[in-house]
Each structure stands twice: as structure tokens, then as C-alpha cells.
Amino acid sequence: MVTVRAPATSANLGSGFDVFGVALDRPADVVHVERAAETTIDVTGMGADFIPEEPMDNTAGVVAEELGAPAHISIDKGVRPSSGLGSSAASAAGAAVALAELYDRDLSKRELVRVAAEGEAAVSGDAHADNVAPAILGGFTVVRDDGIERVAADLSLVVCLPDIVVSTRDAREVVPESASIEDVVDTVGSAATLSIGMCRNDPERVGRGLEEHLVTPARAALIDGYDAACEAAREAGATGVTVSGAGPAILAVCRDDDQRRVASALVDGFERDGVDATAYRSRVGDGARVL
């Protein structure tokens, strides 16, 4: 039996739509695998009732098929599905790392990212390695067709998950199909600022670098309480706030000393609009690891 802890992740970070991702040190899924003649899956934990256990409908099952590594896979979900926190990516990443270890496969982490991304693609129909890359490699990642850049970073983050559902399909449909050159220039400036901030563990630059005026406002409109939560977080010291992945979770960056205040402010902000929410005080974390 092999057990792996696979982290939640936050994709996009505002200015890096479909490109940037970051591993969070919490929450996480825990994936157990045992050799078996054929793959079976059971899921417990957060949102387990909504996750298919049929292997070819579950990212972990597709990963087992890709690796030719049949197993009984138990997934204890700490990352709520459809949260914007890379829930299916955590299971895919956890399964890829666990099965490679169980079957002693000589694959690099980057090869495992590719396998986990296949799992995501088969199940969601839309493959973005911006969640599986940080879920396996850890740190801050930049995913492009020609490869993945990664840097370890140490920063305080808060993710806040409101108790509402936003359909991923809706969140993709509101993304504008074109952009003005002014918006492109603005977004490139933010993305560059954020990347430098990550390399320097600088919450000011990372916070400013989340700023983006194309995708984020369109998605924020789908999240009840978003504006109130952002305003409260900024008043409490957040250096930047944005939608995490496709939402509805929100990601805030802050200085270490402000983290507790920012977490409470986000929850209070949502509550002001009548939305219950849970905040996780987190940091940029490691990728999936064998326990």
C-alpha cells in the first residue's frame, strides 16, 4: 500500500489565466493505492457523494489506465469538488505519484504531470495542466505548450471557499474571446510583476500582480459576496485578492502578520452578503508526496 498527500492548488492567479498555478500547503487529498487485478475506486470526505467512482469517470482511474497500473484506489477528499481549488487535479496528481511508486515506474515528475493532465482531460474534457503541475511539482508554476517553469516560493496565502456552487461551464463561458491591446499590456505587466514577486517571496508584488481586468471581473460576477469579501480582505491587509481557478473560491495574498485578520475578514465579507464561507490559512506548498 502506498499513501500520498496531494495538495489543493490555485490556478490563474489573476494575470496568468490558464498559465499560472500555485500549490497550497492546505487543504489536501489523501490517496491510498494497493495493487489489484483491476482498478476500483472509493471516495470519502468532502463532496464524496458528487464524485464518480467508475474508474474511467474519475481522474485517478484514468491515471491508473494511462500508467497501466491497476489498483484499488481510496481517495479521502480534503479539497471540495468544483471549488476552484484544483480538486480533481489533486486526486489525479495523488494517484499518479502513488501508482508510480507502487509499480516502481521510473518517471520524472514532469512526466507524471503529463499523465495526471491526461486524467484531467479525459474527465473534464478540457485539459489545463495549470492545476496538476503545481499539485505535483509544488511551488509556483508557469505552464505553456513548450514546457513548465517552476520556482519554490514562500508566501502567506488565504483561500476562502464560499458555500455556493459556480458551474465550471459558466465560468468558462464568461471568459471574453478577445482583448484590447491596452488590456494585454496591462495583463503582461501584472504577470511579470507577479513572477518577480514569486522569485523574491514578496507579498506586495505578488498581490499587485494578481490585478487583471479581463477574466476576473467576468467570473467575479458569478460569485455572490465576492466584492464585499475582497473589500474586507484589503482593509484587513491583503496585498491582492482574486478568483481562485474558475471559482467560487477566492485567493488572497498577505504578509504573515496579517494572515489571521485577512482570513476572518474574507469570511465576514461573505457573511455580510448572506453567504457562509470557510477560510484556509495557507502558504505556497510542496507537491504531492508519499507519506
Catalytic residue numbers read 120, 168
Per-residue binding string, ligand HSE, 201-240, x by CB under 6 A, is ----------------------------------------
How many angstroms separate the Cα of 106 from the Cα of each of 59, 102, 110, 179, 271? 21, 11, 12, 43, 49
CB of 264 to ligand HSE, least distance (A): 27
The residue to which cell 482593509 is assigned: 235
Minimum distance, C-beta of residue 174 to ligand HSE, in the bound complex (Å): 10
Angle at 166 between CA 162 and CA 169, to 5 degrees: 155
Query: Contact between 172 and ligand HSE (CB under 6 A)?
Result: yes
Q: Does 282 bind ligand HSE (CB under 6 A)?
A: no
Q: Is 99 a binder of ligand HSE (CB under 6 A)?
A: no
Angle between helices 87-102 and 129-137 (to 10 degrees): 50
Going by the DSSP 8-state scheme, the letter that residue 83 receives in this structure is S
Q: CB-hemisphere CA count at 13 Å for 31?
A: 39
Cβ closer to ligand HSE: 35 or 172?
172
**Cα–chain center distance at 121:** 15
30/56 Cα distance (integer angstroms): 20
Q: Minimum Å distance from CB 19 to ligand HSE? A: 8
Cα distance between residue 150 and residue 56, in whole Å: 30
Site string for ligand HSE, 106-145 (x = CB under 6 A): ----------------------x-xx--------------
- The verdict on 18 binding ligand HSE (CB under 6 A) reads yes
Q: By CB under 6 A, is residue 23 in contact with ligand HSE?
A: no
